[in-house]
Amino acid sequence: MAIIRVDHLTKIYKQQQRLSGFVAAVKSLFTSDIVYKKAVNDVSFEIGEGEIIGLLGPNGAGKTTVLKILSGILRPTEGEVEVAGHSPYMREDAFKKKISLIVGQKSQMMWDLPAMDTLLWLKEIYDIEKPQFNETVQKLSKLFQAEDLLNLQVRRMSLGQRMKMELIAAMLHNPSVVFLDEPTIGLDIVTQNSLREFIKEYNRQTNATIILTSHNLADIESLCKKVILINQGKVTHNNSLNRLVESYCDYKLIKLQGVEEKIDNSRLIPGLEVTSHNEDTVMLKVKQDMCQDSIKYLWSNFTFRDICIEDVSINEIIEKAFADTGG
């Protein structure tokens, strides 16, 4: 069942345009040119209850605008949007209690106070009963292994520790829809992995719908089975991550190590191609359906220590998808 419905969504920004310089600044007081920019152009999609969706796009593609419209920060120019049975831009109290928005390093924690003080403040805002509050704080802090941080002054926390507290604060009212905008930005690898495991476990326990934007594609690979690509204000892909890979990558990489001779394309069968040759390591590109035949050919015709097959990185695939759609 769809918990988010977006139908022919368009967002147009009106901007004042003027030339630089003092004279132009004075003239703009009396007259100015107005330009209209379509940040989002006739976008439609649905997201099911309990899904974790990656919302991807290059800078300026419109994905952050879509996220802000879904969370009620911006009002659409045209089209219909429904999130958890509400029109987000109406900002009803019932809607606010069903969603949560986490934006990168922007903090809702009170800097000079222990984290628990912010959580108690949010308890009053969301009108959470004390037994439910205590149970939720205990469950989330245990899930994040952050029990010892609850009474620590926020300014004394590391960035990773603060992000853990941000997530606990954001999930305190048990939202059914969670918007995450660059949640792992600036975090070390260990904390990134910890955060991803927290998100997966929260989704498993609550069946919450999670919409994630991130330039860290490890987040997408780890969390999202489905992705929506937005480029130049339009949806260019709305399907599984696997389907995206199939659409934009029909080959795999073969890595040879301990190569004892020069390997160039003139010595290879059709469909097998050298992409790099560095000392005793050779990388080759091969069509997906030719992997086994290519491996047999390489073993029979060349001398090397080891061979392995690698998938093309999701980063390369998404870059190709953006390039093919005008990114």
In tens, the pLDDT along 34-89 reads 888 888 999 999 999 999 999 988 877 888 899 999 999 999 999 999 999 999 99
- Tell the burial category of 34 from Cβ atoms under 10 Å away from its Cβ (0-12, 13-18, 19+): exposed
pLDDT for residue 315 is more than 80: no
Q: Is residue 320 part of a domain?
A: no
pLDDT in tens, 181-206: 888 888 888 888 988 998 999 999 99
Per-residue pLDDT, 105: 67
What pLDDT does 19 receive?
66
Pair (80, 225) in one structural domain: yes
287 close to 271: Cβ distance less than 8 angstroms: yes
Does some domain include residue 290?
A: yes
Q: Which of 226, 246, 266 is the last residue of a domain?
A: 246
* 31 shares its domain with 94: yes
Q: Which H or E run includes 180? A: strand 177-181
Are 157 and 257 found together in one domain? Answer: no
Same domain? 199 vs 223: yes
The domain that contains 284 carries what CATH number? 3.30.70.250
Does one domain contain both 262 and 242? no
Confidence of residue 326 (pLDDT cuts 50, 70, 90): low
Find the mean pLDDT for residues 276-303.
91
57 and 162: one domain?
A: yes
Q: Are 22 and 135 found together in one domain?
A: yes
Specify whether 150 is located in the same domain as 292. no
The strand pair at 251-257 and 281-287 is best described as: antiparallel
Residue 158, domain extent: 2-246
Domain CATH number, residue 71: 3.40.50.300
**Same domain, yes or no, for 235 and 287?**
no
* pTM of the full structure: 0.79
Most confident of 29-43, 54-68, 166-180, 305-319: 166-180
Q: Could you tell me the sign of the dihedral formed by the alpha carbons of 56, 58, 61, 67, in that order?
A: positive
Question: Strands of 33-48's sheet, edge to edge?
Answer: 33-48, 2-17, 78-83
Pair 287, 156 in one domain: no
Last residue of a domain, one of 246, 261, 296: 246
| Mean pLDDT score across all residues of the chain | 89
| Domain contains 321 | no
**Does residue 264 belong to any structural domain of this protein?**
yes
- The domain boundary, picked from 202, 222, 246, lies at 246
Tell me whether residue 190 is in a domain: yes
pLDDT on residue 17: 72
Specify if 269 maps to a domain.
Answer: yes
Nearest in space to 88 (alpha carbons), one of 106, 108, 66: 66
Q: Are residues 140 and 18 in the same domain?
A: yes
For residue 319, is it within any domain?
A: no
Q: Which residues contact residue 40 at a Cβ distance below 8 angstroms, ignoring those fewer than 6 apart?
A: 9, 10, 11, 62, 65, 66, 69, 76, 230, 233
What is the number of structural domains in the chain? Answer: 2
In a domain, 325, yes or no: no
Residues 153 and 264 in one domain: no
Q: What is the pLDDT of residue 260?
A: 87
